[in-house]
Structure 1
């Protein structure tokens, strides 16, 4: 009984060590159904009004400009995304843009800042007046371009990021138009780095397995 218990303990500890070395999924999700902005906040000094919008079906956060000529913009910062973000895989979100009038160019894209350099994702405009699904890939540097600041590589920036942002911009040169952009169902996913297993624990587990095997062999010889 003792030998079976010892062998079981060794096997369980070994499996625990192996599980610790496996990758774990990471998902950060915001659908704003709780009636809050869930940690999202506008970055100053870019300004802008970040407010919760409820169209009777689901909540979303919205940034709106009115009749101010020259356009405006907002950087809405994702909560908890800073530091080494090389484990990130992609980001998806739903976007609704409602355009009143003409001469209004709307763009929504993702920006990452780090090492004094801004990177922005490729701008893919969706249809106006409906919800569009958008996505960016954090593993494909070709889908990002320097938007300002220094000249650090995308790898350096995402490995030492100050933050991840959704940017909502407009160019309204006539001063008679306005738009609103709603963002919802933001999901960031990735694979975390392997969890290190202390060498002493791993040696202890394999040592127990060897000890149990040795005793079993001696019993068979006897």
Structure 2
């Protein structure tokens, strides 16, 4: 099944071109658009101050980041986790710009733009004219927001993973028709959660069915 990576960043501000830096990266692995449990998470020393207004958003101060690795120290493991798969983020151009700026500082090529999947763009197409922030989408899809007191990247990724499932078709995406060999009734099951169950009709049920079919004129499913 197809792999993708959903990711989020927290930063010191809004514009990498004026010196703002990444301070947190979180990423979740998705297989078939559902989380596998594998994730990547790191706090980063931005090598600059963290403005108070940014701290109010994500909760991190400069003291929280003292002694953390610099982006150059984690770039290899981060890119290894991303692989070559599609990259999903909410307002993805924002996160791509910041990651690309960090990659440029360590002389690495930017992320390919054709890997980008922007859940904000998907949400705006599905709910035009409505609020489509992560909070608004969680409320719309009845996703628990009780732990989201600040914009923690790892928590935001986990919430966005639930939102992404809903935006792309809901939990029924994993619904499959399963049938055991040799006939019998097919049952619908959720992939990976239940096993197909073979249903064998009783003799009385077969007799009742045969009697019913005998009353029909040229039934298409009748086999002599």
Smaller-chain TM-score bracket: under 0.3
Name which structure has the greater RCO, CA cutoff 8 Å, separation 6+.
1
TM (norm. structure 2) is: 0.26
TM (norm. structure 1) is: 0.26
Bigger strand fraction: 1
